[in-house]
Amino acid sequence: MKGTIPLGTRPLATNRLCTRGIGTLLATLSLLASIPLLAAEQEFLMPGSVREADIPADIYRDSWARLPEVKREQLDSDGQRAFDTYVRPGTGYGSGLRGPIGMWMHSPALAEATFDLRERVRYGTAKDQRLTELAIISTAREIDNQYEYSAHEPLAVAAGLEQEIIDVVRFRKDLDSLGNIDGFGRTEQTIVRFAREVISEEKVNSETFAEALDIFGPEGLMDLVGLIGYYNYVAITLKAFDVQRLPGTELLLPQRVE
């Protein structure tokens, strides 16, 4: 057509304008795609670090909880056996009791009975630590337990859980409206969905249950339920005895804006 310049022969400035326009369009589409995720994050505030002034008056400074630290020499022979079950190399408590287990030791028989459950659901199943920690932080997020979440997010990172997946959990993003996230496949999504439903819904829906059963099998599914249940027990202990994070430590669980 007369007066029309084919695209390939347009002046350089015109081609630059076209390229810039396409780039602007792509950037806009990318921004629009991220709006649901940004909106989810804007519903929360990060609480910052623990201050000395945040520690309640009824907290013992040896245990950072409402009951004092249990000393081994205070216990009878059965109690000392329970104490030694935890306070030994390889358990994570080689240097002494702390946190919820410190409170359990006020009932040594209960603490001792809980040890094998802890070892099974946390370290003894077919799930690797990456998936185990995903289930733990999903549980902590769903029950809104700051201590538990802040203790386990760094462990999840150390186990190789991707930050983008951690953000799905901690900002409680809608699983059905997410785009593709590296590493967040069928297994990971099912763990998060199962934890949300078993904690916050009347029951796990049939589709989620069937998916979890297909992935993990009966034993693996029961182990997942045991892991979620165990960390609910941990959280109840933390709440009952108001176990504190130490002053100066960062609180990692975002708080929903009312």
pLDDT above 50: residue 206: yes
- 158-167, long-range: CB < 8 A, 24+ apart: 159/128, 159/129, 159/130, 159/132, 159/133, 160/129, 160/130, 161/130, 161/133, 161/134, 165/134, 166/137, 167/41
> Given pLDDT bands bounded at 50, 70 and 90, which one contains residue 22?
low
| pTM recorded for the entire structure | 0.83
Pairing of strands 250-251, 255-256: unpaired
Per-residue pLDDT of 155-191, as tens digits, reads 999 999 999 999 999 999 999 999 999 999 999 999 9
pLDDT above 70: residue 125: yes
Phi, psi for residue 49 in degrees, rounded to 5:
-105, 160
Cβ atoms of 138 and 208 within 8 Å: the answer is: no
| More confident position, 65 or 43 | 65
The domain segmentation of the chain, as residue ranges, is 72-121, 127-236
